[in-house]
Homo-oligomer: A and B are copies of this chain.
Amino acid sequence: MALNEGLSIGALAKRTGLAVSAIRYYEAQGLIKPWRNTGGQRRFERADLRRLSFVMIAQQFGFTLPQIKAELDRLPGGRTPTKADWSKISAGFRAALDARITTLTKLRDNLDGCIGCGCLSLEACALYNPTDRAADKGQGPRYLMGDTPTS
């Protein structure tokens, strides 16, 4: 057993609160790369706890799994990530969060001028600038309303 150290998928699930199936799914998406023990079962490093925590928080912030993977891929490959490594990828994270808050605040401040007043003439309003739900899924520029101010 000594040579087959590491956390089992069940242990990882208990520690993170994630379902075992979710962890397997994350592996399939390339977010974590466990090794296998002699019996073919997944074994995880303690650092994977941090990775999964990062995933869970980033999801709360509205990031998609591919986006989260992109961030995680910036972590060093050969060694266990250090505090500095994590801080580095958290910076972009925080920037995105700041942007999101800014957008929502602008949205709120414009609410009284749009729906709040009952006119709903969104064309002239900040609301037609869609909140970046993480990544505009190439849906094309969807303007919100063509209602004329007079109506």
Which A residues are within 8 Å of any B CB, using their own CB?
14-18, 46, 49-50, 52-54, 56-57, 60-61, 82-87, 90, 93-94, 97-98, 100-101, 104-105, 107-108, 111-112, 114-120, 122, 127, 130-131, 133, 142-147, 151
Q: Which listed residue, B46, B105, B114, B120, touches A101 by the CB 8 Å rule?
A: B105
Starting from the known contacts A56-B144, A60-B131, A84-B118, 4 additional A-B residue pairs (CB-CB under 8 Å) come to A16-B145, A57-B127, A85-B118, A90-B116
Write the nearest CB–CB distance from A15 to chain B, whole angstroms.
Answer: 4
Contacts of A127 in B (CB 8 A): 57, 60
Q: Smallest CB-CB separation from A101: which chain B residue?
A: B104
Instruction: Among B50, B85, B94, B108, point to the contact of A94 (Cβ < 8 A).
Output: B108
Q: Shortest beta-carbon distance, A131 to chain B, in Å?
A: 5
How far, in angstroms, from A145 to B52 measured CA to CA in the complex?
9
Contact A94 B111 (CB under 8 A): yes
CB pair A118–B60 under 8 Å, yes or no, is no
- Whether A144 contacts B15 by the Cβ 8 Å rule is no
Chain B residue numbers with a CB within 8 Å of A82 are 118
Judge whether A147 and B111 touch: CB under 8 Å: no
- Is the Cβ of B118 less than 8 Å from the Cβ of A97? no
Q: Provide a sorted-by-A list of 20 A–B residue pairs whose CB atoms are within 8 angstroms.
A: A15-B145, A16-B145, A17-B142, A17-B145, A17-B146, A46-B151, A49-B120, A49-B151, A53-B144, A57-B114, A61-B107, A82-B118, A83-B119, A87-B116, A87-B117, A90-B115, A93-B111, A94-B111, A94-B112, A94-B116
